Structure 1
Amino acid sequence: MEKRLIEVEVENFRSLRKITLPLRPLNVLVGPNGAGKTNVLDVFRFLADVIGTDLQPALDLRGGFDEVVFRGGDKPPVYMQIKLTATWTTHSSLSALDEYQLRVSRPRQGSLSRREKFAFKRTQGRGRRITISGQKVNVVDTGRGGGEREIGISALSSGLSTLPRLSDEQGGSEVSTVAQRLASFRVFDVRVDEARQASRFPRAKTEVLDDGAANLAGFLLALRSQDENAWQRLVEDAMEVLPQLDGIDFEYPSGAAREVVIVLHERGLRRPTQLADASYGTIRLLGLLALLYDPNPPALTCVEEIDHGLHPQALELLVERLREASERTQFLIATHSPALADRLQPDELIVCERRDEGSSMIPALSAERIERIVGTSEGLPLGELWFSGALGGDL
């Protein structure tokens, strides 16, 4: 059974008043500014922050509870909630899904509280439910021979950050699996000024790609050492999109084993060009190719405005590589580009709209509805249908 995220439900998180979003291997969010695409990506960044720092710091990073909850309507909401269903743990399946739910509440004139729920499939018909409320963790084993026990926890500590330390009998193994998956989620955006610089020499055969590609040179050097075939395909892809490019190599300005820089061999030039002197689009392209050829990707990779700075001729290749890489990691992509959407299949497109009261409608159209519209469109591509309004949320 493929291990992946099946669905996310969100209530009262920024503009996400109430959405249910099924997720496939490749998911591309399209919509105007303010439709909520970035907020969907921030749901996963928030959960990763909860694991890394705990609940209160993750909220504080975003300005506190009042800045995170939905701002529309006559009265401010008293809670926000995130629920995930997945097939991550060993015995999960589409008929026995893993579930995680986080609800953060603050009644008017009241103090902040959280409630969490975990549900997992165990073995031979057995399951486990873990509920966290206040300072109590309640662990219930379902099925034959099931039992119930209670564990203490700090008032605002998240189970995602605390329970993985428990023993397997207390539920730590399954919670740890979920926490590891969520902690690995990557919201990726090439920070060009950092990616163009030298990076430290990789200290191991594998290098974890930074969320902003700040270690791009070190990562690509490690990739060349680890998987020569993947490296050659990456270089060929770059040469296909950049006609002037003849090859990619590395230099070591501070001596071997200290730091490394990327150099580009370009047609007609006497000397190689260091990446520091390359164009914005070239650096973004190399950062995205590094992401797509990552041999050890996270469970989910989010990318905002993936086409930013890229020539339209790169989009065909980009979508092909996204589909290939989605066999190893799920993708959640945000874009404004009709040209990129033109290259998608109907079940890869998620149309986002914004209602008058400020809430996001995601998806604005079901996958089945998009299929029907495409079927009667006389061959028009998805991007053109979306940009013309044929895939608008009011249809």
Structure 2
Amino acid sequence: MIITNLILKNWRNFREVNVPLRERTYILGANAAGKSNFLDVFRFLRDISKPQGGGLQKAIADRGGVQKLRCLHARTDPEVLIEVHISESQDDAEPRWKYILGFKPEGKGAQRTLISKEQVWDKSRQILNRPTKDDKKDVVRLTQTALEQIQVNSEFRELAEFFADTTYLHLVPQLLKFGDLIGGQRLDDDPFGQGFLERIAKTPLKTRESRLGKIEKALGLAVPQFRQLRYTPDKINGRPHLEAMYSHYRPNAGWQREDQFSDGTLRLLGLLWVLLEGDSLLLLEEPELSLNDGIVREIPLLIQRIQRDRKRRRQTLISTHSEALLSNSGIDGRGVLLLEPVAEGTKVRSINSAEVLALRSGLSVAEVILPKTRPTSIDKLGQWK
């Protein structure tokens, strides 16, 4: 299943959004335009739906409360609303599921965050509509979504499982290299890859070897002198490690562990692993970081090729402002969203007819759309004192 449409009201810096999504969607925008906030909608739904340690109230609290989620430009309307349409295929005429969630501060007393609207549609049949009479009699019920309650969501549990399986990985190489020295608290779902090696270790042996074999071939093409990749636990403390062998003037030179890998090698390794892992919604934030432009340019085709070989294709949402990545001619313009800062918040739109025409004439997304993310006064930055 894939999300084919997203509607937002008063979510962070978006007052109103109504955009289509494709199997691969590229999210473009200037710095601080809201690319991360856009992706966070799907992480929010995942956090609500998690069977352990999830729920609406925790998802809101983890983000600093409803006052941090609600758009600052929403002066009179306190409601935050999320609506997603989910289909079996991106070209289906009618969505298989529709899920609508609205919530707002109570406005009195304990100032709890209460559900103002929760609806589930199975095609044209509505199977949930809240608040109900029971909800209005017992307002505490409105602190929890039906989505997170297994005794209520039996008719649409498939939807809850779909949201809960969403994957987000923005691997920070330094946290992986120096994790033992840094220590510190690890965030839920490990978005920055601190536990990436444990994630690999927990994978069944045959699956792990198959994935690492494919990654080894890709790294051999992308990383100079790279020869071999293997997983090995520490003989003393059992901690998982990745080791690589490089071509060297000493033919029997030792293996290098992940703390000696370059940042780019670790980022590429993490990207390849998550692409091979699972078939749920995948969120990638600026996958071009630390990578050579030649590698970055191939990322769209890499994603397409891996998905094509899978039984169930995986929807991927990618935020980027990389000219190299967007210069790839394989990017479908229908899967491009542009975030444009306006006087009150950020507007999100698909490409317009003039941009479609330019792409059809042979220009790339980097040439047609990316320049529109450039701040108008950026030329003055070089004159800053």
TM-score, normalised on structure 1?
0.79
1:297 corresponds to which of 279, 289, 313: 279
- Partner of residue 384, structure 1: 367
From the superposition, tell whether residues 392 and 32 of structure 1 become closer, same or farther in structure 2 (CA, over 3 Å).
closer
Distance 1:212 1:225 in 2: 26
Residues 172-222 of structure 1, C-alpha deviations (whole Å, 9 max, x = no match): 3332111111111122211323434799xxxxxxxxx95433443455464
Asked if structure 2 preserves the Cα contact closer than 8 Å seen for 1:385 and 1:391, the reply is no
Matching residue's letter, 1:186: T
Please state if 1:103 is matched with 2:88.
no
From the superposition, tell whether residues 332 and 40 of structure 1 become closer, same or farther in structure 2 (CA, over 3 Å).
same
- Partner of residue 55, structure 2: 54
Residues 255-299 of structure 1, C-alpha deviations (whole Å, 9 max, x = no match): 59x3321111011152111111111111111111111111x232x
Asked if structure 2 preserves the Cα contact closer than 8 Å seen for 1:88 and 1:98, the reply is no
Please state if 1:338 is matched with 2:310.
no
Residues 325-344 of structure 1, C-alpha deviations (whole Å, 9 max, x = no match): 44521111111111111112
Distance 1:223 1:293 in 2: 14
Distance 1:281 1:116 in 2: 43
Q: Say how many residue pairs are matched.
A: 350
Matching residue's letter, 1:98: W
Asked if structure 2 preserves the Cα contact closer than 8 Å seen for 1:12 and 1:69, the reply is yes
RMSD: 3.2
- Partner of residue 262, structure 1: 242
- Partner of residue 118, structure 1: 120
Matching residue's letter, 2:122: F
Write out aligned runs for 1:188-267 (5 A).
188-196=169-177, 211-220=191-200, 222=203, 225-226=206-207, 230-254=211-235, 258-267=238-247
Asked if structure 2 preserves the Cα contact closer than 8 Å seen for 1:197 and 1:214, the reply is no
Which SS does the other structure have where 1:67 is aligned? Answer: helix
Which SS does the other structure have where 1:136 is aligned? Answer: helix
Asked if structure 1 preserves the Cα contact closer than 8 Å seen for 2:35 and 2:319, the reply is yes
- Partner of residue 202, structure 1: none
**Unpaired runs of 5+ in structure 1?**
139-149, 167-171, 200-208
Distance 1:391 1:23 in 2: 23
Distance 1:96 1:27 in 2: 18
Write out aligned runs for 1:1-395 (5 A).
3-52=1-50, 53-72=54-73, 75=75, 77-87=77-87, 94-95=93-94, 97-106=96-105, 111=111, 112-114=113-115, 115-121=117-123, 127-133=125-131, 136=134, 154-162=141-149, 164-166=150-152, 172-196=153-177, 211-220=191-200, 222=203, 225-226=206-207, 230-254=211-235, 258-268=238-248, 270-294=253-277, 296-298=278-280, 300-326=281-307, 328-343=313-328, 344-357=331-344, 359-363=345-349, 365-366=351-352, 368-376=353-361, 379-389=362-372
TM-score, normalised on structure 2?
0.80
Question: How big is the shift at 1:12?
Answer: 0.2
From the superposition, tell whether residues 263 and 228 of structure 1 become closer, same or farther in structure 2 (CA, over 3 Å).
closer
Q: Percent identity?
A: 20
Which SS does the other structure have where 2:297 is aligned? Answer: helix
From the superposition, tell whether residues 117 and 387 of structure 1 become closer, same or farther in structure 2 (CA, over 3 Å).
closer
Question: How big is the shift at 1:39?
Answer: 0.9
Q: 4+ runs of 1 displaced by more than 4 Å?
A: 107-111, 150-153, 218-221, 227-230, 390-393
Question: How big is the shift at 1:369?
Answer: 4.6
Matching residue's letter, 1:165: Q
Distance 2:59 2:105 in 1: 16
Distance 1:373 1:165 in 2: 52
Distance 1:330 1:72 in 2: 31
Question: How big is the shift at 1:15?
Answer: 0.8
Asked if structure 2 preserves the Cα contact closer than 8 Å seen for 1:365 and 1:391, the reply is no
Which SS does the other structure have where 1:160 is aligned? Answer: coil
Question: How big is the shift at 1:370?
Answer: 3.0
Asked if structure 1 preserves the Cα contact closer than 8 Å seen for 2:326 and 2:365, the reply is yes
The farther-off stretch of 54-63 and 306-315 is 54-63
From the superposition, tell whether residues 313 and 336 of structure 1 become closer, same or farther in structure 2 (CA, over 3 Å).
same
Asked if structure 2 preserves the Cα contact closer than 8 Å seen for 1:198 and 1:261, the reply is no
Asked if structure 1 preserves the Cα contact closer than 8 Å seen for 2:29 and 2:338, the reply is yes
Question: How big is the shift at 1:254?
Answer: 3.0
Which SS does the other structure have where 2:6 is aligned? Answer: strand
The farther-off stretch of 229-238 and 216-225 is 216-225
Distance 2:76 2:235 in 1: 56
Which SS does the other structure have where 1:297 is aligned? Answer: coil
Asked if structure 1 preserves the Cα contact closer than 8 Å seen for 2:30 and 2:375, the reply is no
The farther-off stretch of 342-351 and 239-248 is 342-351
Which SS does the other structure have where 2:295 is aligned? Answer: helix
Distance 1:180 1:350 in 2: 26
**Unpaired runs of 5+ in structure 2?**
181-188, 377-385
Distance 1:322 1:272 in 2: 29
Distance 1:348 1:320 in 2: 14
Distance 1:23 1:180 in 2: 20
